[in-house]
Amino acid sequence: MLRFILRRLASGVVLIVVISTVAFALLYVGSGDIARRILGQTATADTVAQKAASLGLNRPLYVQYGDWLSHAVTGNLGISWFTGQPVMAAITSRVAVTLSLVIGATLISAIVAVVLGVWAARRRSWPDRLVQVISVLGFAIPGFLIALGLVLVFAINLHWFKPTGFVQFATSPSGWLASITLPVIALAIGGIAGVTQQIRGSVIDALRQDYVRTLRSRGLSANRVIYKHVLRNAGGPALAVLAVQFVGLLGGAVIVEQIFAIPGLGQVAVTATTQGDVPLVMGLVVVTAIIVVVVNLLIDLLQAFLNPKVRLS
Amino acid sequence: MTQSMPLPDPSLTPAVEERGARVSLFRKLLKNPIGLIALIYLALLVLSAIFAPLIAPADPNLASLKDVLLPPGPGHPLGADSAGRDVLSRLLFASRFSIAGALLALVVAAVIGVTAGLIAGYFGGWFDSVSSWLAGLLMALPGIVVLLAARAVLGPSMWLSMAIFGVLLSPAFFRLVYASVSAVRNELYVDAARVSGLSDGRIIGKHILTVVRAPVIIQAAMITGIAIAIQAGLDFLGLGDASIPTWGSMLNDAFSKIYTNPGLMLPPSLAIALTCIALTLLANVMRDELERSASPAKRKKSAKRGSAMAAAEPGEAIVSHPEDARSEARAGEELLRISDLAVGYDQPDGSVKVVVNDVSLTVRRGEVHGLIGESGSGKTQTAWSILRLLPEGGRVVNGSIFFEGKDLANASEKEMTKIRGKKIAYIPQEPMSNLDSSFTIGSQLVEPMRVVLGLSKKDATAKALGLLERVGIPNPKRTFSAYPHEVSGGMAQRVLIAGAISCEPDLLIADEPTTALDVTVQAEVLNLLRELQAELNMGVVLVTHNFGVVADLCDRVSVMRNGRIVETGPVRSIFAHPEHPYTKSLFAAILEEGEARGELVPAANGPASGISAADAPAADAPATGVPATDAPATKQPASNERVGS
């Protein structure tokens, strides 16, 4: 088991290093004359050269990358070119907000998908068709359109929620809950659509397995067999889909945060992108990669817990 | 479809067949109402985009201060936006850019993904591992984060963003093509093409591309929808090129006026949502139609399989042998009485396919009643109907199953749950698939005992260990904490027997309990069953296709054929005087087989020696009968169980 974890961890670290290398090369080469961009067209060639030297941009790319990497492993991702704020601080102050949205949406989609998926798999007739229609629509309609629809209906017309603004959990737990309800629902609908289909399919498959009949022949009720045995066996493929959904939700959060004016990573990303704040963008890419790797590792562990065969392979 | 067919001319047939399939797929798409509507919508969309300059009432970028936020009216059919530009004109021109951008992403993704997938799947080697790894890498980051990073250095170009997004989407095609190609690569007809001297290029073109074409088209519809969504998302964030109208930039403009003019959101939202839905539905309909056109072969097979079972012709008289002294002496009180049982499966067209008909039999306490017949004769269906655990769609359509005074055919699910395990238990045929691979063997024994007998965890564990020891497992503790895949088939079958007797049932349903086991293990398991049956004085319904097992264990036997019992009576009497032609032919089949095997003849040869086998050491049992009926059963183990699916 320990070897399993270590191996997954190692491959995750390799992934992060590769992503950061590629991103660094593309960002720093692609940006062209960075010092000129920061100082604007009116700056003299001298000041531009000075700026480039002070940012260390006149060194060879691999030296710059080595420099960045040696700082990055200590948690120092450099300094924003436009605000002067450390990149790490800009990200850590926002990451909790985004993660609470995305994790909330992931959990809700998992729970709702299990309920809907099992329902559709067992009833098969009209509930099945209903679930199919819902998941096709939920999958097809982009998340930000759903978010806009929710704002229009529940915030602007019905006044149930405030359309924008975010309340810190520490300030008011109930206010926090109210402020993330619509964004989380908007994000969750797409996730529910994808995971429900998977759960439905794998529950139908699992229900046909011989051991289901045998367990029931021992006097276990259908519900018990489904929720304890079938779901555990159907869980593996569903978790794999959930992991993919998580990556998608992380991307969806960028847009949804913008709609609800939530100060998360998405806002930082959009600002940094429009300004061309390369160190900040670089930091965001790396942090996103780390989040994805950690989540995949957690999902792998959960898979191994659910299915003993994974532990051995 | 083409995968498992032995084709006479490998270089021609698949392509021809595939072309026909493609034409008919398109036709089916037109016949399907959802597919037709989606196609019409998309066609209108593309036409309106192409002819936008002709249709649009105004220049999409012409701003007019006096028209700012004008409601729909004569000059502006859909109103004007916050800069006074005509919404309808912008929408029409936006379609051009949004669709073109999505198509660019699609082309980039398809070219990279399909090419790499073909090469990696067909040739394998280092390219395979490198590209698979790269595909994983590309899918690791959320697309929009990569696009934001690209936008930071490259500036706001829709074409560049969409080309990059195409690269990010290419793994979707890569994985699809890779999977189909590596599956097809080793098919016989591809081998045949290679042997017949076709070059790799021609093989890929003729055989491989035809296999992946349909899935690629389906994937393309999905990918286009995703590209449209992400492109709209980027422009909605205000990160797009401000000089060109797109659905996303219209939405961005409308969003800034969401309080005063929420209606402005409608046109671009509808355009995005409807287009994405149309593409997804189109993909779904195509997938459904493809699956449906692939299934006739399957359906034919199952119909054949079903007809073997369903041919329960009416009328034939059952040969019933009278009781003899021996069978009378063994029998106790009556446990189970099945009368006129019929089992049927609901068909999609509303009819019911009857697979078991007019079955009547009784089992008394301490008596072993064998149900013998070839695969598909309905014996397993009869066994499952006693437990009321028929596969999906199957049910008792006629007759009664009286057990301890209660008709199980009409019992509620709740009543059945109380009876199963505690009163009637079940030993399945295939040991491995009947254990849940996700739980330890111990927990699968303990759980029912706790539920059914209400034992504490400690007591149930102790009892489970005792049971494992009783069924002859050498190291009960280790097996208890092992997972099913960690023990042998013979051990697993012992575990299943332990599970079946764990709640001390009155009646045991054993469905070919030794068929899946090695010959040497079969004897041991039969011995164990006989001992346990005597020890617990259980009634047993033993399903088998093996007269040796019948001779060894049963007091009474019913011969089944085509869903009906053709002959029934005490074992000794039937072995001595088989009367029904079918029973006789079964014995004859054993004889034929026996001659070839020499030493097997004496055991199954005459009725007398057949009976003596019942008292002989059980090691003889598997050797006595490996009748001809064994062959169909082992070749298609699933065929007699899976009628409904």
More confident residue, B13 or B427: B427
Position B20 scores a pLDDT of 53
Q: Looking at residue B591, what is its pLDDT?
A: 64
Chosen from A204, A218, A221, A225 to mutate, greatest number of chain B CBs within 10 A: A218
- Cβ of B426 and A214 within 8 Å? yes
**pLDDT tens track for A137-160:** 888 888 888 988 888 888 888 888
Least confident of A172-181, B349-358, B602-611: B602-611
CA distance B75 to B551: 95
Would the CB atoms of A308 and B420 count as touching at under 8 Å? no
Average pLDDT over residues A230-243: 85
| ipTM for the whole complex | 0.84
Are B549 and B542 a contacting pair, CB within 8 Å?
Answer: yes
Find tokens 């072993």 and name the residue.
Answer: B368
Inter-axis angle of helices B441-453 and B489-501, nearest 10: 10
What confidence category does residue B636 fall into, taking pLDDT thresholds of 50, 70 and 90? very low
In this prediction, residues A257-279 reach a mean pLDDT of 87
Comparing A181 with B631, the larger pLDDT belongs to A181
Share the mean pLDDT of chain B: 78
Beta carbons of B395 and B343 less than 8 angstroms apart:
yes
Q: Backbone phi, then psi, for B212, in 5-degree steps?
A: -90, -10
Cα(A244)–Cα(A195) distance, rounded to whole angstroms?
10
Can you give A29-86 as a three-state secondary structure string? HHCCCHHHHHHCCCCCHHHHHHHHHHCCCCCCHHHHHHHHHHHHCCCCCCECCCCCCE
How far is residue B64's CA from residue B72's CA, in Å, rounded to a whole number? Answer: 15
Facing residue for A156 by CB, picked from B258, B273, B502: B258
Q: Which amino acid is located at A204 in the chain?
A: I
Choose the closest CB to B280 out of A30, A31, A139: A139
**pLDDT confidence of A31, banded at 50, 70, 90?**
low
Mean pLDDT to the nearest integer, B74-99:
82
What are the two backbone dihedrals, phi and then psi, of residue B77, each rounded to the nearest 5 degrees? -55, -35
pLDDT at B195 over 70: yes
Which three-class secondary structure state does DSSP give residue B265? helix
**pLDDT at position A238, please?**
85
What's the CA dihedral at A209, A210, A215, A221 to 10 degrees?
50
Q: Are B148 and A276 in contact (CB under 8 A)?
A: no
Residue B302 predicted with pLDDT over 60: no
How much is the average pLDDT of A17-44?
79
A133 touches chain B (CB under 8 A): no
Predicted local distance difference test score (pLDDT) of residue B327:
56
What pLDDT, on the 0 to 100 scale, is given for residue B480?
Answer: 93
Q: How confident is the model at residue B514 (pLDDT cuts 50, 70, 90)?
A: confident
Chain B residues inside the 8 Å CB shell of A292: 140-142
In angstroms, the CA A303 to CA A313 distance is 12
Confidence at residue A107, expressed as pLDDT on a 0 to 100 scale: 92
Q: How confident is the model at residue A36 (pLDDT cuts 50, 70, 90)?
A: confident
Query: Touching check for A11 and chain B: CB below 8 Å?
Result: no
Which pLDDT band holds residue A134 (cuts at 50, 70, 90)? Answer: confident
Mean pLDDT of B455-480: 91
Percent share of chain A, pLDDT over 90 = 13
pTM for the model: 0.77
Give pLDDT tens digits for A95-123: 988 999 999 999 999 999 999 989 888 87
Phi-psi region of B137 (alpha: psi -120 to 50; beta: other; left: phi over 0): alpha
The pLDDT score that the predictor gives to residue B602 is 39
Select the more confidently predicted residue: B330 or B66. Answer: B66
Contact of A310 with B163, CB cutoff 8 Å: no
**pLDDT for the residue B551:** 84
CA B174, B180, B182, B184 torsion-angle sign: negative
Supply the mean pLDDT for chain A: 85
For residue B300, pLDDT over 70 is answered with no
The pLDDT of residue B84 is 72
Instruction: Decide which of B295 and B53 is more confident.
Output: B53
Tell the residue number behind the tokens 């739980």, with chain if given: B439
Lowest mean pLDDT across A206-220, A241-255, B307-321, B559-573: B307-321
The DSSP line for B17-62 is HHHHHHHHHHHHHHHSHHHHHHHHHHHHHHHHHHTHHHH-SS-TT-
Residues of A in contact with B419 (CB under 8 A): 219
Residue A158 has which token pair?
């019905």
Do B233 and A255 count as a contact with CB atoms less than 8 A apart? yes
3-state secondary structure of A94: helix
Q: Is the pLDDT of residue B9 over 70?
A: no
State whether B433 and A210 contact (CB < 8 Å). Answer: yes
CB contact under 8 A, B144 and A217: no
Mean pLDDT of B59-80: 73
- Minimum distance, in Å, between the CA of residue B434 and any CA atom of chain A: 4
Range among A57-61, B52-56, B483-487 with highest mean pLDDT value: B483-487
Residue-wise pLDDT for B364-419, tens only, equals: 888 899 999 888 888 899 999 999 988 888 889 999 999 888 898 888 888 888 88
Q: Does residue B574 surpass a pLDDT of 80?
A: yes
Task: Supply the pLDDT for residue A82.
Answer: 80
Helix, strand, coil percentages, rounded to 5, for chain B: 60, 10, 30
pLDDT digits (tens, 9 = 90+) for B486-511: 898 888 988 999 999 888 899 999 99
In the 8-state DSSP scheme, what is residue B238?
T
Q: What is the pLDDT of residue B630?
A: 37
Helices B266-294/B209-236 angle, 10° precision: 160
Indicate if the pLDDT at residue B7 is higher than 60: no
CB-based contact A293:A15 (threshold 8 Å): yes
Q: Cα separation of B356 and A307, whole Å?
A: 38
Q: What is the token pair recorded at B628?
A: 């001809």
Say if CB A264 and CB A94 are below 8 A apart.
yes
Q: Given B150, B420, B439, which is nearest A217 (Cβ)?
A: B420
> Rounded to whole angstroms, how far apart are CA atoms B163 and A32?
20
Regarding predicted confidence, which is higher, B19 or B622? B19
Name which of A143, A178, A185, A174 is nearest A164 in CA terms.
A178
A161 versus B354: the higher-pLDDT residue is B354
Q: Is A116 on the interface with B (CB under 8 A)?
A: no
Instruction: Give me the mean pLDDT over the A22-27 stretch.
Output: 85
SS3 at position B564? strand
Q: Find chain A residues with C-beta within 8 A of B420's C-beta.
A: 216-219
Partners of A228 on chain B (C-beta within 8 Å) are: 447
d(CA B514, nearest CA chain A) in Å: 16
Give the Cα separation of A213 and A119 in Å (integer): 19
For every residue of A178-242, which 3-state class applies, written as one string? HHHHHHHHHHHHHHHHHHHHHHHHHHHHHHCCHHHHHHHHCCCCHHHHHHHHHHHHHHHHHHHHH
User: With 60 as the cut, is the pLDDT of residue A87 above it?
Assistant: yes
Q: Could you tell me which of B553, B257, B55, B284 has the C-alpha nearest to residue A152?
A: B257
Quick one: average pLDDT of A279-297? 90
pLDDT of residue B106: 95
Taking residues A43-52, report their average pLDDT: 80
Q: Is residue A312 very low, low, confident or very high in pLDDT (cuts 50, 70, 90)?
A: low
- Mean pLDDT, to the nearest integer, of B217-224? 89
Tens digit of each residue's pLDDT (9 = 90 or more) over B605-626:
434 333 333 333 333 333 333 3
Separation between Cα atoms, residue A60 and residue B442, nearest integer Å: 63
pLDDT of B624: 37
User: Does the pLDDT value for residue B517 go beyond 90?
Assistant: no
Q: Which residues of A touch B483 (CB under 8 A)?
A: 308-309
Among the partner residues A140, A216, A251, nearest to B276 by beta-carbon distance:
A140
- Burial category of B167 from C-beta neighbours within 10 Å (exposed 0-12, middle 13-18, buried 19 and up): middle
Q: pLDDT for B314-347, tens place per residue?
A: 556 777 777 766 555 555 788 899 999 999 998 8
pLDDT at B169 over 80: yes
Question: Which is more confidently placed, A37 or B212?
Answer: B212
User: Is residue B181 over pLDDT 60?
Assistant: yes
Q: What is the DSSP letter of B244?
A: S
CA distance to partner chain B, nearest, from residue A274 (Å): 6
- Partner B, chain A 266-305, Cβ-Cβ below 8 Å: 269-270, 272-278, 281-282, 284-285, 288-289, 292-293
Distance between CA B496 and CA B493 in Å, rounded? 5
- Sign for the CA dihedral angle at A90, A93, A97, A102 comes to positive
Neighbouring-strand partners of residue B543: B371, B511
